[in-house]
Amino acid sequence: MYRETEIIKDAPQFGEPGFGDLVINVGPQHPATHGVLHLIITLNGETIKDIKPNLGYIHRSIEKMCESLTYRQFIYVTSRMDYLSAHINNHACALVVEKGLQVEVPERAQVIRVLFDELTRIASHELWWGAMAMDLGAFTPFFHSFRERETINVIMEETCGARLTMNYYVPGGVMWDLHPDFQKRVKDFITLYKKKIHEYDELVTGNIIFQNRMKGIGYISPEDVISYGCTGPVARGSGVHSDIRKVSPYSIYSKLDFDEVLETGGDSFARYVVRIKEMHQSIKIIEQLIDNIPEGDFQAKTKAVLKLPKGEYYQSVETARGELGVYIVSEGGTTPYRIKFRSPGFSNLSALNHMIKGGKIGDLIAAMGTLDLVIPDIDR
Amino acid sequence: MWSFSEIAKNIDLWLNDLVGSTWALVLEMVIAGVAVIGLFAALGLVLVIMERKVAAWIQIRLGPNRVGPKGMFQSMADTVKLLVKEGMTPDGADRLLFNVAPFIAMIVAMLLMAPIAFAKDFQLWDMNIGVLYITAVSSLSVIGILMAGWASNNKYSLLGAMRSGAQIVSYELSGGLAILAVVVLTGSISLTDIIKAQENGWWIFKGHIPVIIAFIIYIIAVTAETNRAPFDLAEAESELTAGFHTEYSGMKFALFFLAEYINVFIVCAIGATLFFGGWMPLHIGNWQAFNHIMDYIPSSVWFFGKTFFLIFLIMWFRWTFPRLRIDQLLNLEWKYLLPISMINLLLVTLIAILGWHF
Amino acid sequence: MFIKDYIKDIASALKSLATGMKMTGYYFTHHKEIITEQYPDNRDTLVLAERFKGEVVMPHDENNEHACTGCTSCELACPNGSIKIITKFDVDAETGKRKKAIDTWVYHLDLCTMCGLCVEACPTNAIKMAPTFEHSVFDRNKLVKKLNEDGSKVRAGVE
Amino acid sequence: MSKNDKQKSFLETFPTGKETESVFPGTIHELPGGGIVTSKLDDVINWARSNSLWPLTFATSCCGIEYMAVAGAKYDFSRFGFEVARATPRQADVIIIAGTIVNKMAPVLKRLYDQMADPKYVIAMGACAISGGPFFYNTYSVVKGADHVVPVDVYIPGCPPRPEALLHALIALQQKIKSGMTREQIREGKDIV
């Protein structure tokens, strides 16, 4: 009766399920997978026995593609990897090219970059909050979070010229100077954010149904976090000190006053709290910088054709999802010889089976929501 | 005063004169059937647009406003589209059960229309076992869902149907016990008697705290019984794509959609009848002048006003709360609602025996 | 005590649910919080950011002249080949010199990712990003555009 | 928006550039000579179809976020009656291909399209769905345009397009449905009546 669908026949055989087990394919088109993740789940009743992620439905060979693009050009493609932290991806690439060229980035450009990074982080977490609540079956938070997110999008659009994939960072600085209205808009946003943030707690955090769905679900211990290589809020939710902005500070983060958010719960609720508190920390960083943007150049003088000296370069940054590493091998030409991204989503996804095994389908959706997966970031 | 009962009586007399009593009965049945189907369709249209507007306003957006004046024709467009859309039966499905299931869901919803008093003396079938009939028939709705889920030959559908089965069977208990509270107070299971008993005040106001608790339990139980969020596990869009109706398209899906809304209307109508006095206007004790003014408002307005208030309440739940997990859903019923409603029933019995209600 | 905890649990749960309902109830009754912008109706008042990258355009002045010399630096800067410049040689009437000029400036809007690198690379500011977005078409071929207008030529003095 | 662009009227921005019948169908037209004719059943059906386009929740990458923004409160496509996003293809009317289609995803897209009940429409949103966009030249794994897999009705360029651009495309699709013309008829350049 339960014929296997065609999709699973194409996929590699993962061993025969036991008697009475139900194998279902969640994805590639499924509202909870936030894209095209394909999970092959073995169920016993409602209880999950095994999860096998099947990747590759959005593999666009970005790493291979970057090898044929120049150092100015390849940055824009990386916006399409983790499109929710597009600015931060670009930042990593710009930093690694600057490291190779040994260009000193003007202070104004660095401040602008950090401001946009933190705005991106807030926007990303806003979207995660709405989408995660939607996974849990509450639709209203999604619309309320987009209210704040759209405000950030307007700021982005005014200065960078696009809403999502901006390509604003170039090696040596940023493409244009800030828009004159930038400071005012950001201050307005901070006011709006502070006025509305209590609603997040009223609508979702304090809700008894939400807490029961989240607490104690998807537990992962600090040891497992390290062995799976999870980073970002997933690691910090288990109390693992992993914020790249603190561990190996880049740009001007070492001069800023902010806290690394650590929770010791290790469950879905801890990861939720980490992200909510991170938004507050980002606001704190923005407040420190918004009135102190130094005057000066927004872009360092670079040659028209960039050539990285022969060698290997690595830079990691903290995206909204965790550690993004960019590794470039240069043979001295105008294009990278080899490029490799270490994306946070891939490691975080690998811990999914460990987290959820033995839980219910509802737990899978809730815990996957707190992992905040962006599938193009995993497949690249 | 203008009332439905006079019109019904006149039609009855006129038909009896015209064609004799046997044919008059047949014709009346046909008229009643057509009227129910018409009401069915009209309610579906109204409730769908209402839900979308309520959702939009809660979600700080405008909602449908471009099709017809203020978007009022939106659900009409949806209905026409679904009517002419291809209704497919998937390969491998159990064809008979698959195609029959939506009709079962709809027929159950229609059967429940029979004992509801829409206005003073306006009732399709004034039976003396109204409450029993309602509890018996409403439990049939699970059959349609189970059939749909099993016949679809889809794993998501099957899971949704199984969830729905567990859910409806459990929540019927506390729903029934909550209804019993009112039955105990009234001393009758006829809906007419229950409404009559609320002449001097609705049960929710004059029945002390136990009736309020019973009302809360009733609302929670019927939300679960009609598969509405936060208990929409049978559909659970983010988990099971569309649950038991994953494989349904076109009009067959529309029937499920419609049956859901009609069920919501009916449980709210029953709730309004039991706790808010049905078509009975708001009467307060000895305030003769006030009561007299209230009597001028037509009884059907009272009935629909109360019902739509309850419907709004259920919609409000839907757009506020996240969904429960299946084991939490059953925990809620067996560990909380059922013990509470049992103790509550005891209390109500005490009140009824000692005559403490106003 | 067991019963006390049980009742406390229920009370706190109901309170948390009521908090959420209070908030959604507030938005249901306060329509001034609605933030919807009605797109086709607000088209006249819609102000887009002037930097918004909607498509590449080549501004022509009143004499039907543009500033593009056909140097192809935009074509080289474009990461995904959405620009193709077909050049020709104009013969100057006075001096008789052959001069490079553009014949067709082909722009693939269907490929373009609005990264803005071509505009940055252009030495003569011949192209810019226009804040337009209403490009939807029924036929994919209509998205391949010719940006220089018929009969246009390079503005005098632009090298 | 600069002054020059403003001069374009709203209808001119559409591929057809013409307004189709947008009044409520079933209205009574007075014919010369006093005859009365009600509009055709086809008009009613097309009106219903065009005003009730339920999209499939299908997004592969970046454009999906702008698709979510259109669903969000600021742009709100529920004004047109499109907000009933169905997770199952059986109940959806329009599939908005928001994002790149790679070779492994192409059979799945085809399958989803086949599972949808007629009439079904496809919108290709963004450069990736139209032609592969940024992944046109240098990659080995991307389908160069979703129209190699399923027939596409409306194309929206942009990377990703603005939310308003998606609304524009949805209105264009509405116009197409109201006209009742096929893709081939439009491609041949026939006027939309």
Q: Is residue B210 part of a domain?
A: yes
Mean pLDDT confidence for B105-129: 80
Q: What is the mean pLDDT of chain A?
A: 84
Per the structure, the count of domains in chain B is 1
Contacts of A158 in chain C (CB under 8 A): 49, 51
The Cα of C97 is separated from the nearest Cα of chain D by a number of Å equal to 36
Any B CB within 8 A of D48 CB? yes
Residues 6 or more apart from A278 whose CB is under 8 A from it?
A121, A125, A233, A261
What's the residue count for chain C?
159
Provide long-range contacts, Cβ within 8 A and 24+ apart, for A311-317: A311/A100, A313/A96, A313/A99, A313/A100, A314/A96, A315/A92, A315/A95, A315/A96, A315/A99, A315/A250, A316/A92, A316/A244, A316/A248, A316/A250, A316/A342, A317/A88, A317/A91, A317/A92, A317/A95, A317/A244, A317/A250
A342 phi and psi angles, rounded to 5 deg: -100, 105
* pLDDT of amino acid D29: 53
Closest CA to A123 of D80, D72, B175: D72
B62 interaction partners in chain D (CB closer than 8 Å): 76, 78-79
Contact A165 D159 (CB under 8 A): yes
Confidence band of A6 (pLDDT split at 50, 70, 90)? very low
Helix B95-111 vs helix B141-151: angle between axes, to the nearest 10 degrees? 160
Bridge-based pairing state of the strands C65-66 and C153-154: parallel
Asked if pLDDT for residue A181 goes beyond 60, the answer is: yes
Q: For D14-80, give the DSSP string.
A: SSS-S----SPTTPEEEPTTS-EEEPPHHHHHHHHHHH--PBB--B-STHHHHHHHHHSTTT-GGGG
Q: Check residue B238 and give its pLDDT.
A: 76
CA distance C110 to C91: 34
Closest CB to D73: pick one of B59, B71, B80.
B59
Torsion of CA B40, B46, B52, B54, to 10 degrees: -120
Which chain C residue lies closest to A199 (C-alpha atoms)? C23
First and final C-alpha spacing in chain C: 90
Look at residue B154 in the predicted model and tell me its pLDDT.
84
What A16-20 contacts at long range (C-beta under 8 Å, 24+ apart), as own/partner pairs, is A17/A42, A17/A49, A18/A44, A18/A49, A20/A44
Q: Which of A297-301, B263-267, D10-14, D160-164 has the lowest mean pLDDT?
A: D10-14
- Residue holding tokens 């002449």? B199
pLDDT of residue D2: 42
Q: How many CB atoms lie within 10 A of CB A348?
A: 30
Residues of chain C whose beta carbon is less than 8 angstroms from a beta carbon of chain A are 12-13, 16-17, 19-20, 22-24, 35, 48-49, 51-53, 77, 79, 113-117, 120, 129
pLDDT digits (tens), chain C, 159 positions:
788 888 888 888 888 888 888 888 888 888 888 888 887 777 777 778 888 888 888 888 888 888 888 888 888 888 888 888 888 887 777 777 777 778 888 888 888 888 888 888 888 888 888 888 888 888 888 888 888 887 777 777 776
Those residues whose C-beta lies under 8 Å from the C-beta of residue A255, and which sit 6 or more positions away, are none
- Looking at residue D37, its pLDDT comes to 56
CA distance A175 to chain C (A): 8
Tell me the fold of D54-177. Rossmann fold (3.40.50)
pLDDT of residue B255: 87
CA distance, residue D161 to nearest chain A CA (Å): 9
- Domain range annotation of chain A: 6-54, 64-379
CB contact under 8 A, B77 and D81: yes
Residue D168's closest chain C neighbor by CA?
Answer: C134
Task: Please check whether residue B1 lies inside any domain of the structure.
Answer: no
Helix (H, G, I), strand (E, B) or coil at B318: helix
Which chains reach chain D with 3 or more Cβ–Cβ distances below 8 angstroms? A, B, C
Average pLDDT per 10 consecutive residues for chain D, totaling 193 residues: 50 58 50 58 80 86 87 85 84 88 88 87 88 83 87 87 87 82 70 46
Closest residue in chain A to residue C11, using alpha carbons only = A208
Within 14-33 of C, beta carbons closer than 8 Å to B belong to 17, 20-21, 23-25, 27-28, 31, 33
Give the position of tokens 């019902």.
Answer: B307
Alpha-carbon span C93 to A251, nearest angstrom: 57
Three-state DSSP state, B186: helix
| 8 Å CB contact of D156 and C136 | yes
Q: Is A175 on the interface with D (CB under 8 A)?
A: no
Q: Which A residues, 105 through 144, put their C-beta within 8 Å of a C-beta on chain B?
A: 133-140, 142-144
List all chains that touch chain A, counting a touch as 3 or more CB pairs closer than 8 Å.
B, C, D
Q: pLDDT over 90 for what percent of chain B? A: 0
User: Which chains border C (3 or more CB–CB pairs < 8 Å)?
Assistant: A, B, D
pLDDT at A13: 46
- Listed by start position, the domains of chain C span 2-33, 55-154
Question: B touches which chains (3+ CB pairs under 8 A)?
Answer: A, C, D
Nearest CB among B240, B323, B326 relative to A136 is that of: B323
Q: Taking the domains of chain D in order of start, what are their residue ranges?
A: 20-51, 54-177
Task: Output the CATH code of domain C55-154.
Answer: 3.30.70.3270
* Helix (H), strand (E), coil (C) string for A296-361: CCCECCCCCCCCCCCEEEEEEEECCCCEEEEEEEECCCCCCCEEEEECHHHHHHHCHHHHHCCCEH
DSSP 8-class letter at A292: -
- The CATH number of A64-379, from 1.10.645.10, 3.40.630.30, 1.10.1470.10, 3.40.50.10310, is 1.10.645.10
Q: Which two tokens stand for residue B48?
A: 């769908």
Q: What is the CA radius of gyration of chain B?
A: 21
Mean pLDDT of chain B: 83
